[in-house]
Amino acid sequence: MSNLITNTPIISSYPPYKGSPKLSGTCRINLLDFITQMLAGMLWTPGCCLTNIMLSLPVVVLLHHLLFAVLVQSAPLSSSSDLPPSFREAAERVKTLVEKIMNDIPAVHSNTVDTEGLTLDPSTQTNLQRMVTSLGIPAAPVIKPPSERFSLDMCVSRMLLGSQLFHGLLGVLSPRLNGLSGLQHDLEDLQTHINKMKDVAQLSSNGEEDQNYNLDLSRNGRYDVQVAVHLTLTQLRSFCHDMIRTLRAITSQRLKAH
């Protein structure tokens, strides 16, 4: 028995695990169950002796490193305080682009909407809630800084959903009215940068599907098109304001260097 123990490689001779390919959620669960069963079978079998345990040590060490890798991959970075500096950089790029979009909205509105009463000035805005319903313009997703009840995953996912929504709305409106393509391209770029944020933070992909809306202006007159553009730009400006406020809260939090 002493020979067996002496000839058994010691734990320190095995290099630490340095990484593994990304696994899907189902694969992680199945692999985790398999590793757990293997460890239980080798170490907790009735009648297990010290010799068998020592002979199993190399396998146990390998399974231990694999189990650690699976657990690390399966746990997303759920708060901005857990994220690397690269996340702050990605968030800053998103914020810069959102500020550009919000600053461009007044000029775009002025160049596309000339119907009297349709302005961005809150003191002179007309109540058009009925038009919102009749035209089928959906409300933008609610965005607010991450908290215990509003996770970072939800926050970034709704940023992406909102940018997809307004990109789609402007895509419907652009053929009916010139001057909207610039914002549309910026919103497309915004989606790319938000996806980079999600990749850095290892956030889930749930809820990224394009939202459905019934905005059909093929039979509507010029006034309805003008109102639709006005409402879309008004909601986009409010959405951008909420995004900037949220991004400032995210980037101002202390981030750990990895």
Give the model's pLDDT for residue 252.
81
Distance separating alpha carbons of residues 59 and 154, to the nearest angstrom: 40
Distance separating alpha carbons of residues 38 and 86, to the nearest angstrom: 38
Question: How do the domains of the chain map onto residue ranges?
Answer: 2-74, 80-252
Distance separating alpha carbons of residues 38 and 29, to the nearest angstrom: 14
The overall longest dimension of the chain from CA atoms, in Å, is 95
| CATH architecture, domain 80-252 | Up-down Bundle (1.20)
Distance separating alpha carbons of residues 251 and 85, to the nearest angstrom: 10
Spatial contact of 98 and 244, defined as CB atoms under 8 Å apart: yes
Q: Which of 231, 213, 216 is nearest to 130 (CA)?
A: 231
* 229 C-beta neighbours (distance < 10 Å), count: 25
Burial of 169 (0-12, 13-18, 19+ CB in 10 A): buried
Give the model's pLDDT for residue 245.
94
Spatial contact of 101 and 236, defined as CB atoms under 8 Å apart: yes
Q: What are the structure tokens assigned to 163, written together?
A: 């940018």
Give the model's pLDDT for residue 211.
58
Give the model's pLDDT for residue 23.
46
What is the pTM (predicted TM-score) of this model?
Answer: 0.66
Q: Which residues of the chain have pLDDT under 50?
A: 1-29, 43-44, 50, 53, 55, 60, 68-80, 207-208, 254-258
For residue range 219-254, list pLDDT tens digits in order. 678 899 999 999 999 999 999 999 999 999 988 864
